[in-house]
Amino acid sequence: MLTVVTNANIFTPLGTKAKHGTEMGSLHHIPNGQVEIEDGIIRYAGPVRDHEPADRLIDAGGNAVLPGFVDSHTHLVFGGYRPDEFMWRMRGDTYMSIMERGGGIANTMRATRETNEDELFHKALEYLHAMHDMGVTTVEAKSGYGMDRDTELKQLRVIGRLASEGPINVVSTYLGAHAVPPDYKGREDEYIDFMITEMLDEAKPLAEFCDVFCEKGVFSIEQSRHLLQAAKEKGYKLKLHADEIVNTGGAELAAELGAVSADHLLHISDAGIEALANSDTIATLLPITAFALREEYAPARKLIDSGCAVALASDFNPGSCFSYSIPLMIALACIHMRMSVEETITALTLNGAAALGAAEEIGSIEPGKVGNLVILDTDNINMLPYHTGINLVKQVIN
């Protein structure tokens, strides 16, 4: 099948690896462009030219055409909601104090354990369709709301079903180390051993990545290293929740282990920035979470100016960030994190793809890549932050 998108104002990063530092601000621009997609793969991206009859011919009308957005960090599959906790935070309660009272992740753990697979699937499927409408063509989804054998595997099976039946590409991550289950309180090392000896092998057919919440009061650097080294030996790619609430050296650990990404980084140290800048580990920033928690944003400008590769993702979850809004993310990145529009687009496309180890297949508009495109309802990419918080996606091709 041949799809031709013509009369397109194309903006895209180029390449099969993440863009670091100042490279993030450069997009390839084809003002009167055309994209030809044959059997799902781009065969041509360049100036308008003659072509054979297409099965699907799309006139972009001179509007901006971008690569499909990649949301490389979500907690998509969960039971229940936590609106009351949100309002507790609004009155000044800290995230850690809420967790200590049995709220937070433990609250969602209980709801997810009680929700059956079909319910989890259909709830998450609705979210995927809404994400697709905002231009997302690839999303990562984590387990982590079971923290026991049966529920973790249930979540991962749902993620696999979403990948098969949903509207967009879904990448699966095992996050058993999202919190310490209540029955393991004070026995955190035993829980790490349980995941290593039992869960990693069972989850491996269902998950590409292994992640850990490396944080004060959750899992230490030593515990995180122990789990991730074991996961790496079993063939997982690695991710870390790092330096979100306090600095623990999570970014440095991510670089040390060759993790694909280190995520959050609100409290990353100068040493952590240097470690990421000198590695292939992607710094994945989650501005909507900082916004919802009333926290300072991750130092995007400093990370980019130091030579890091920065991606942006939603962190969609029922607790600290009940939002997958791409328009809001773009606004926060440009307005509050002082990223340029070009850097923001790169962070949401090619660098997001690299944060999933998939930059050779997706994340840019060039021959050989999967034909994931977003057509905006404007010819000017500066409208993305300027028309603040408004979805400007006119059509998604994937």
Three state DSSP letters for 153-207: HHHHHHHHHHHHHCCCEEEEEEEEECCCCHHHCCCHHHHHHHHHHHHHHHHHHHC
Cβ atoms of residues 361 and 370 within 8 Å: yes
Give residue 360's pLDDT.
Answer: 98
Check pLDDT > 80 for residue 99: no
Average pLDDT (337-364) is 98
Q: What percent of the chain has pLDDT over 70?
A: 99
Q: What angle do CA 246, 249, 252 make, to 5 degrees?
A: 140
| Distances 163 to 81, 136, 138, 146, 311 between C-alpha atoms, Å | 23, 14, 10, 20, 22
Average pLDDT (134-149) is 98
Give residue 68's pLDDT.
Answer: 98
Encode pLDDT of 18-31 as tens digits.
Answer: 999 999 999 999 99
Give residue 101's pLDDT.
Answer: 76
Interior/surface letters 289-321, b for 16+ CB within 10 angstroms, e for the rest: bbbbbebebbbbeebbebebbbbbbbbbbbbbb
Q: What percent of the chain has pLDDT over 90?
A: 95
Torsion of CA 213, 215, 220, 223, to 10 degrees: 0
Average pLDDT (95-120) is 88
Give residue 104's pLDDT.
Answer: 84
Encode pLDDT of 270-315 as tens digits.
Answer: 999 999 999 999 999 999 999 999 999 999 999 999 999 999 999 9
Give residue 345's pLDDT.
Answer: 99
Check pLDDT > 80 for residue 95: no
Average pLDDT (125-140) is 98
Contacts of 219 (CB under 8 A, 6+ apart): 177, 180, 188, 192, 212, 213, 227
Check pLDDT > 80 for residue 113: yes
Strand partners, 33: 8, 47
Give residue 319's pLDDT.
Answer: 93
Cβ atoms of residues 135 and 377 within 8 Å: no
Q: Could you tell me the pTM of the whole model?
A: 0.97
Check pLDDT > 90 for residue 210: yes
Give residue 275's pLDDT.
Answer: 98
Average pLDDT (76-93) is 93
**DSSP one-letter code for 54:** P
Average pLDDT (48-60) is 96
Tokens of 79: 């039971």
Question: For residue 342, which of 10, 8, 12 has the smallest C-alpha distance?
Answer: 12
Of 100-114, 130-144, 277-291, 306-320, least confident by mean pLDDT is: 100-114
Tokens of 340: 């340029």
Give residue 158's pLDDT.
Answer: 98
Question: Which position has the higher pLDDT, 168 or 217?
Answer: 168
Average pLDDT (84-103) is 82
Give residue 94's pLDDT.
Answer: 79
Mean pLDDT, rounded, of the chain: 97
Average pLDDT (165-185) is 96
Per-residue confidence band for 105, with pLDDT thresholds at 50, 70 and 90: confident
Give residue 93's pLDDT.
Answer: 86
Check pLDDT > 80 for residue 75: yes
Would you call 152 helix, strand, or coil by DSSP?
helix
Check pLDDT > 90 for residue 106: no
